[in-house]
Structure 1
Amino acid sequence: MTLRYLLALSRPRFWFYLAGPVLVGAVFGAERVNELLSVPLLALFLYFLLPANVFLYGINDVYDREIDAKNPKKEGREARFEGQRVVPIAVVVCALVPLAFFSLFPPGTWVWLAVFLLLGAAYSAPPARFKTTPLLDSISNGLYLAPGAAAYVALAGSQPPLLAIAGGWLWTMGMHTFSAIPDIGPDRAAGIETTATLLGESWTYAYCGACWTLSALCFGALDGRLGALFLVYPTLVLAVSLTEIDVSRAYWWFPVINVVVGALFTMGGLWLLVYR
């Protein structure tokens, strides 16, 4: 039961939000195809597939216990934390797991691992608790970029292009804030302030659209095909905002959409790696 609970807590639907960027960063950071089967990359992928998700969502659930008691999302698809002692222990263990492969990576990779762990903790835990501060809750979700940047540095030995970092960071800001729209009611009832509760539903759509449009422009400056691919996001948010589609329903489409976009992004990188 404990393992089953921790798996539910880790949000399996969202595992590839952390593990997927590792694959993207790897194909663009590698110089040869065989580097994609290297031990450092495998270690990063496995860490961000499960332990990193237990760390991230475990902290979230511990400090959101009172809020989640009123959140309908916790009734079925997500686990509700009710004081289980195993959760804080699992969070600490998962935070320390990267130390087991400390020697595998250059210093630049550890910078991004530190970004992930620090922002992952500060997002939910006091005293920072960025998730309760409008705009900082959105900006701090750049932590989802960290796995991809870490993988890039691990293989390339240098930092990703600034435009790629900016594009990825803006994408995470839009994705986080869009996912907060279904929580506007429960968050307001609990007295929690977020970018979404501050802006309200209509303006939050506009904010997400702006973040995703800027993200597409950044990626487009690197490669026009990438820019065109990422325009799917502002297009989708516009469609949701102008129709009667229930945002709580649309919210659950995005794990699939993100996997498809991420797969196309990764396949484009593989094509360049093989044929450049």
Structure 2
Amino acid sequence: MTMPGAAVYLFRTSRPRFWLYLAGPVAVGVAYAASDVGDLFTPTTFALFGYFLVPANVLLYGVNDVFDVDVDAENPKKEEREVRYGGDRLVPAAVGLSALLALVPLGLTPRIAWPWIAGFLLLGVAYSAPPLRLKTRPPLDSVSNGLYVLPGAAAYAAVAGVHPPALAVLGGWLWSMAMHTFSAIPDIEPDRRAGIETTATRLGQRRTYAYCALCWALAAAAFGLLDPRLGLLLAPYPVAVVGVAASRVDVSRAYWWYPAVNTVVGALLTMGALWRLVHG
């Protein structure tokens, strides 16, 4: 494989459409933890954002692809929007390098942030890799995907010097559980053919919609207890999933709208924190 070809291959492996699912929470965490504008732009915040923008995604999805090589043979989205792992050494090497690069944010953050970063690394690997392979152990496949909130928690702890509010972690965890399980709905039939059991395959499509709506509603409630405006911002999620379930919209198509929706919501969360920071 040529160097340009390898770069494109790793780029697609890292799921660039989903990069902000890890880096976005870092921006939100920094914005809410900052006590002045100077807290926003430091070596620590740049290291956290940079690591969770690319290397962490290579780690997370690379491990997933290596251990899902048999499962992905039945998954049509690997032909369309993603790349299918072919058994080469490039992806494992990139995963190993990405794991080593975690030493950079660990070295720049205070110890209070270390459990959050370590939690991400452990869950990110255990989700796909044996012996735990949490993705095949419902409901742990859904619960473990709270890992997406951990970069934001690490960033908040690193900047504020204290752990983030428990309600914020709970709300983010529930939101991530819903998003992960919603994303598994298009994979129900491929997973069943491959003999993989997930929360979505166990519940079936209709009940999975209900599960996602419940998790998103609880997430909105948790954030609403912190600030009613945050609850209102997240309230459309359970409504939207009910709308998808009640309509004729193909869930495989609806799922690909969410990166854009989530980016807008994350931007609004961040801008709200920055407005508070600048204008009090």
Q: TM-score range by the shorter chain?
A: over 0.9
Q: Which moved more, 1:244-253 or 1:266-275?
A: 266-275
After superposition, the C-alpha distances for 1:166-224 in whole angstroms (9 at most, x for unaligned) are 00000000000000000000000001000000000000000000000000000000000
Where in structure 1 do 4 or more consecutive aligned residues deviate above 4 Å?
Answer: none
Please state how far the C-alpha of 1:83 moved relative to its aligned partner: 0.4
CA distance in 1, matches of 2:152, 2:105: 17
Please state how far the C-alpha of 1:9 moved relative to its aligned partner: 0.1
SS of residue matched to 1:37: coil
Aligned to 1:275: 279
CA distance in 1, matches of 2:106, 2:154: 13
CA distance in 2, matches of 1:257, 1:206: 20
Indicate yes or no: 2:236 matched with 1:249.
Answer: no
| TM-score (normalizing by structure 2) | 0.97
CA distance in 1, matches of 2:235, 2:104: 39
SS of residue matched to 1:128: coil
Aligned to 1:123: 127
CA distance in 2, matches of 1:52, 1:218: 27
After superposition, the C-alpha distances for 1:9-57 in whole angstroms (9 at most, x for unaligned) are 0000000000000000000011111211111000000100000000000
Match of 1:77 among 74, 81, 106: 81
SS of residue matched to 2:248: coil
Q: Percent identity?
A: 61
Aligned to 2:52: 48
Aligned to 2:165: 161
CA distance in 1, matches of 2:104, 2:20: 22
Q: Can you give the 5+ residue segments of structure 2 that lack an aligned partner in the other structure?
A: none
Contact 2:106–2:117, Cα closer than 8 Å, also in 1: no
* Superposed counterparts of 1:1-276, under 5 Å: 1-276=5-280
- Aligned alpha-carbon RMSD (Å): 0.7
Contact 2:78–2:84, Cα closer than 8 Å, also in 1: yes
Q: Which moved more, 1:169-178 or 1:104-113?
A: 104-113
After superposition, the C-alpha distances for 1:226-260 in whole angstroms (9 at most, x for unaligned) are 00000111011010011111000000000000000
**Aligned pair in 2 of structure 1 residues 139, 92: CA closer, same or farther (>3 Å)?**
same
| TM-score (normalizing by structure 1) | 0.99
Matched residue type, 2:246: L
Please state how far the C-alpha of 1:110 moved relative to its aligned partner: 1.0
CA distance in 2, matches of 1:50, 1:235: 32
Tell me the number of residue pairs that the alignment of Structure 1 and Structure 2 aligns. 276
